[in-house]
Structure 1
């Protein structure tokens, strides 16, 4: 367990140089792979052999390398590709924040802030390459988490309008609108973020039913929608900040509106699974947490909501439905 970090760094290395993409048309020698990826033969062979020992790529008897089911998930164009997530996992700024976990335990402050002197989202706003890695990784994580099934699991039949608060480039909202053609939607996020969403919404065929809305959810959110959605947003924030976001949603909502949070839920006790280490990632990077249902119920009550039900999805994710109290 103590040396388990060796594996994601080796995977990150193969992902960075797009080895999986190069292998898509068949097995290749290390010399061919090195030329195609602009890397050096000997260290590349050693990385690929280490990964092949785990079933990530395969080495043939004549020394060529080929795909396995696991290595195919590193293709950049694979459905549910893990490449972007592995690019974040191996990024220097990500590892350095984790290295400050002892500091976080002592102070409750994010390790990221200790290393870089500013919160992660401020850092990302100034470092375009890191921001691209982060945003793509979050899209990939969302897809592999199973949270994307939420649009199919919630009954929108009595709803006319829905707004995705902090909806990024709109992939989740697009899926909601495609699944429920009668809906009209609003995509709300920082102006620079939503400005990049138009092409994706158009490609999804929902641009004509979606309004782009720029703003800051710490100040206000759009008013008078039937449903307010946030997917994997509240877990990014400490209680005080999360409360402010939720209170702004409450102020914007009509009495009969609904709030839907798609979140991973922390079990009440230690059980096998990734929950507890995702929780530590939240602590190291953001100073936030993965919350239990009990913690969500209390936080929502403070913001003026009543948690009405939870709808289980997969991998510990759920839709938390609330109404104004």
Structure 2
């Protein structure tokens, strides 16, 4: 497996060529995800002939795909024309609770591909790529008209969040809290995991009514429906009271500074003076350091008016809304946990 994109180990020319061709990898991964190749390798290595038969694919073309993906660590050609699973390809398995299969498919879905293709226009005028492609101001608007794309996106986000949240849930001390309120928590991925890990806690999942209809089923399936109340509302108007800890996971990144300030002020109105607000989000690092979150920031440029922020930018917004940053916890994933206390 070669080391990609690294000018320290490759000539500047080769590093440039690989960077400029990066989308090749995403599309190849997408095809493998749609074909379900990783699922076929659960019980062991298989020949490309068998894989082609089971996926109804052209044998020579499938071999070229798998050979190329193996060169970046996705699959392993253990002997000529025979492929096995790798730790990376495990994330393409549909039965893996931490599967990122739908993230791969979502990234190469037509609406996503076209919106990124409008980045030149976005850089020129500041409007989202999805606006230039579809005349929608955000992916929320697009999904209202295209629910199938929204379903793939939601499935992707459930497992992305599960991967990003797990180290936080395992390491954060919830022992002194009694009730947690998750703001705009979707189907309840985060709050259900917190409640599972902390049987003494009760929770409130707060989101819009159409989201909560599915959330109740999810919470019941996760075994926490009896400890988690669902409350519908609009976070731009008011927030439920009564929690010791409030959580915002990957919410602020979707909104501009004015809307972020409104959300946090509403939480300040609801939270007790000794309560804590946990903001789980990407925090940008220094200028030249590689960080996946910087590419995520361009994703947000393509799909709305939000964006990733530095710690200093977050702190300024928090203070305007009545909070101060007490702790910044690094958890070994693309997100950080910022623990806020009321001023």
Q: Name the Cα RMSD after superposition.
A: 2.0
Please state if 1:30 is matched with 2:48: yes
Q: Which runs of 5+ in 2 are unaligned?
A: 1-18
Please state if 1:144 is matched with 2:163: yes
1:99-248 map, 5 Å: 99-118=117-136, 119-145=138-164, 147-248=165-266
3-state SS of 1:73 partner: helix
Whole-angstrom distance in 1 between the partners of 2:47 and 2:317: 56
- Asked if 2 retains the 8 angstrom alpha-carbon contact of 1:113 and 1:120, the reply is no
Whole-angstrom distance in 2 between the partners of 1:306 and 1:27: 53
- 1:258 corresponds to which residue? 276
Judged with a 3 Å threshold, the aligned counterparts in structure 2 of structure 1 residues 246 and 199 are, in CA distance, closer, same or farther, namely same
- Asked if 2 retains the 8 angstrom alpha-carbon contact of 1:104 and 1:287, the reply is no
- Asked if 2 retains the 8 angstrom alpha-carbon contact of 1:185 and 1:209, the reply is yes
Please state if 1:72 is matched with 2:90: yes
Deviation (angstroms), 1:316: 5.0
Q: Which runs of 5+ in 1 are unaligned?
A: none
- 1:46 corresponds to which residue? 64
- 1:89 corresponds to which residue? 107
TM-score by length of 2: 0.87
Deviation (angstroms), 1:187: 0.7
The total of aligned residue pairs comes to 324
- Asked if 2 retains the 8 angstrom alpha-carbon contact of 1:164 and 1:186, the reply is yes
Judged with a 3 Å threshold, the aligned counterparts in structure 2 of structure 1 residues 143 and 210 are, in CA distance, closer, same or farther, namely closer
Whole-angstrom distance in 2 between the partners of 1:5 and 1:104: 19
Whole-angstrom distance in 2 between the partners of 1:97 and 1:34: 32
- Asked if 2 retains the 8 angstrom alpha-carbon contact of 1:120 and 1:286, the reply is yes
Whole-angstrom distance in 1 between the partners of 2:151 and 2:25: 23
